Structure 1
């Protein structure tokens, strides 16, 4: 099993960042390469459409509003992995009032690629996504 984590510190309160990213259907609000998210099964699944028209289906595994965290699994996607499980969390930055740290992590089993290739793929997705979040949050 492979894994990767990316994080970014933002000059906004954790509550403000969570309001932006904490909804399971909120990716289009801050992630420009996901312009559409359709919730299903009472909000337990999301069908994402990327810029190229490709589809990714994800299932919410756990959601904790108080801890500002949710975990989801990929059910359908064009990625070379199986068993994908990811968590998005917003924390306070110790010693920096009014700042937040967003962490995006995932575990997965590479399928047809090396651990390193799969880790680089998702690390790039997480890093690019968090950079997009920073641009959106600063608007």
Structure 2
């Protein structure tokens, strides 16, 4: 099992950032907003809902596994990993208040590489996390 963990400081409080990060549909829409030929289709609602994220020819299917508004934590899986070279993907995003204001985001994913080395699979996941965190820092400050 491979683990990827990214952590960063955001300039807004956890409650404000959670309004976006805790929105299973809105967060992914914000992430793909500037990508050509990108859209999200959603089935269901609440824990267990599924989002099908299409960017060009690539499709990823993600399921909301946990949602904890009080602790600003959400988890999702990819039952079908689509363009990503892995299986058994599970991820958790956690926000925590930071000393002096703002908040910390911790994003952790675990998975089994499929047909590629651990490093190649980890880099694919790390790229998604770091791009998303950069978008959040652009929106909320660092």
TM-score range, shorter chain: 0.7 to 0.9
Normalised by the length of structure 1, the TM-score is 0.87
Runs (4+) of structure 1 exceeding 4 A deviation are: none
Partner of 2:87: 82
Partner of 2:137: 134
Q: How many residues align?
A: 135
Alignment of 1:95-106 (within 5 A): 95-96=99-100, 98-106=101-109
Normalised by the length of structure 2, the TM-score is 0.86
- Displacement after TM superposition at 1:33 (Å): 5.7
- Displacement after TM superposition at 1:53 (Å): 4.3
List gaps (5 residues or longer) in structure 1: none
Q: Give distance in 1, aligned partners of 2:7 and 2:32.
A: 15
Alignment of 1:111-122 (within 5 A): 111-122=114-125
TM-align CA RMSD? 1.7
Mapped contact 2:76–2:91 kept (Cα < 8 A) = yes
Partner of 2:16: 16
Q: Give distance in 2, aligned partners of 1:103 and 1:48.
A: 22
List gaps (5 residues or longer) in structure 2: none
Name the SS of the counterpart of 2:139 in structure 1: helix
